[in-house]
Amino acid sequence: MNSLAEQVKQAHRITLIPGDGIGPEVTEAVVAILEAAGRKTGCSFDWHRHDAGADAFEKSGEYIPKALYQSIEQNRVALKGPVTTPIGGGFASINVTLRKKFDLYANFRPIKNLPGLKTNYPGVDLIIFRENTEDLYAGLEVMVVPGVAQSLKIITEKGSTRIAKAAFEYARKHGRKRIHAIHKANIMKLTDGLFLDCARKVAAGFPEIEYKEHIVDNTCMQLVLNPYQYDILLTENLYGDILSDLCSAFVGGLGLVPGANLGAECAVFEAVHGSAPDIAGKDLANPTALLQSAVLMLHHIDEPATADVVQQALEHVYGEGKTLTRDVGGSSGTRAFADAVIDAMSSTR
Ligand code: ATP
Residue 170 has pLDDT above 90, yes or no: yes
Residue 1 has pLDDT above 50, yes or no: no
Averaged pLDDT for residues 213-225: 98
The type of residue at 150 is Q
Task: Report residues whose beta carbon is within 6 angstroms of any ligand 1 atom.
Answer: 22, 26, 85, 245, 254-255, 273-276, 278-279, 285-286, 289, 327
The pLDDT, as a whole number, for residue 6 is: 52
* CA separation for the pair 94, 104 (Å, rounded): 13
Instruction: Specify the residue with its C-alpha closest to ligand 1, atom 15.
Output: 276
Averaged pLDDT for residues 296-319: 97
**Ligand 1: distance of its center to the CA of 275 in Å?**
6
The closest of 31, 58, 59 to 45, measured between CA atoms, is 31
Residue 318 designated active-site: no
Ligand 1 site-directed mutation target among 132, 254, 290, 291, most atoms within 8 Å of CB: 254
* CA separation for the pair 235, 233 (Å, rounded): 6
Residue 8: band (very low, low, confident or very high) from pLDDT cuts 50, 70, 90: low
Instruction: Specify the residue with its C-alpha closest to ligand 1, atom 3.
Output: 274
Q: 240-245: which pairs have CB atoms within 8 A and are 24 or more residues apart?
A: 240/107, 240/109, 240/128, 240/129, 240/130, 240/131, 240/182, 241/130, 241/137, 243/128, 243/182, 243/216, 243/219, 244/109, 244/111, 244/128, 244/130, 244/272, 245/272
Ligand 1 site-directed mutation target among 20, 243, 273, 328, most atoms within 8 Å of CB: 273
The pLDDT, as a whole number, for residue 4 is: 53
The pLDDT, as a whole number, for residue 55 is: 83
β-strand partners of 84: none
Residue 54: band (very low, low, confident or very high) from pLDDT cuts 50, 70, 90: confident
Query: Annotated catalytic residue: which of 63, 105, 137, 230?
Result: 137
Averaged pLDDT for residues 148-175: 97
The pLDDT, as a whole number, for residue 240 is: 97
Secondary element (H or E) of residue 232: strand 232-235
* CA separation for the pair 321, 325 (Å, rounded): 10
Residue 7: band (very low, low, confident or very high) from pLDDT cuts 50, 70, 90: low
Residue 241 designated active-site: yes
Averaged pLDDT for residues 24-48: 97
Residue 92: band (very low, low, confident or very high) from pLDDT cuts 50, 70, 90: confident
The pLDDT, as a whole number, for residue 279 is: 96
Q: What is the DSSP annotation of 128-156?
A: EEEE-S-BGGG--EEEEETTEEEE--B--
Secondary element (H or E) of residue 181: strand 178-183
* CA separation for the pair 100, 242 (Å, rounded): 19
Specify the pairing of strand 210-215 against strand 141-145. Answer: unpaired
Residue 256 has pLDDT above 80, yes or no: yes
pLDDT for 93-133, tens place per residue? 888 889 989 999 999 999 999 988 999 999 999 999 999 99
Backbone angles phi, psi at 78, to 5 degrees: -135, 150
Residue 329 has pLDDT above 50, yes or no: yes
CA atoms within 13 A on the CB side of 137: 22
Helix (H/G/I), strand (E/B), else coil: 187: coil
Specify the pairing of strand 232-235 against strand 178-183. Answer: parallel
Residue 184 designated active-site: yes
Instruction: Give the ligand 1 atom nearest the CA of 275.
Output: 10
CB 266 within 8 A of CB 80: no
Domains of the chain, first to last: 1-108+254-349 (3.40.718.10), 120-251 (3.40.718.10)
Crossing angle, helix 334-347 and helix 304-320, to 10 degrees? 110
The pLDDT, as a whole number, for residue 235 is: 98
Instruction: Specify the residue with its C-alpha closest to ligand 1, atom 19.
Output: 276
Which of the 8 DSSP states describes residue 332? B
Find the range with the poorest average confidence among 134-143, 173-182, 309-318: 134-143
Q: How many residues would you count in the chain?
A: 349
**Ligand 1: distance of its center to the CA of 185 in Å?**
30
The pLDDT, as a whole number, for residue 93 is: 84
Query: Annotated catalytic residue: which of 189, 217, 228, 302?
Result: 217
Which of the 8 DSSP states describes residue 77? E
Crossing angle, helix 191-204 and helix 157-174, to 10 degrees? 40
Residue 17 has pLDDT above 80, yes or no: yes
Instruction: Give the ligand 1 atom nearest the CA of 277.
Output: 10
Residue 217 designated active-site: yes
What average pLDDT does the chain have?
A: 94
Averaged pLDDT for residues 260-270: 96
Averaged pLDDT for residues 248-274: 95
Residue 349 has pLDDT above 70, yes or no: no
Percent of the chain scored above 70 by pLDDT?
97
**Ligand 1: distance of its center to the CA of 136 in Å?**
22
pLDDT for 334-346, tens place per residue? 999 999 999 999 8
Count other C-beta atoms under 10 Å from residue 177's C-beta.
10
Helices (H), the chain: 4-7, 23-41, 54-60, 66-75, 94-101, 157-174, 191-204, 216-225, 237-248, 288-300, 304-320, 334-347
CA 180 vs. chain centroid, Å, equals: 20
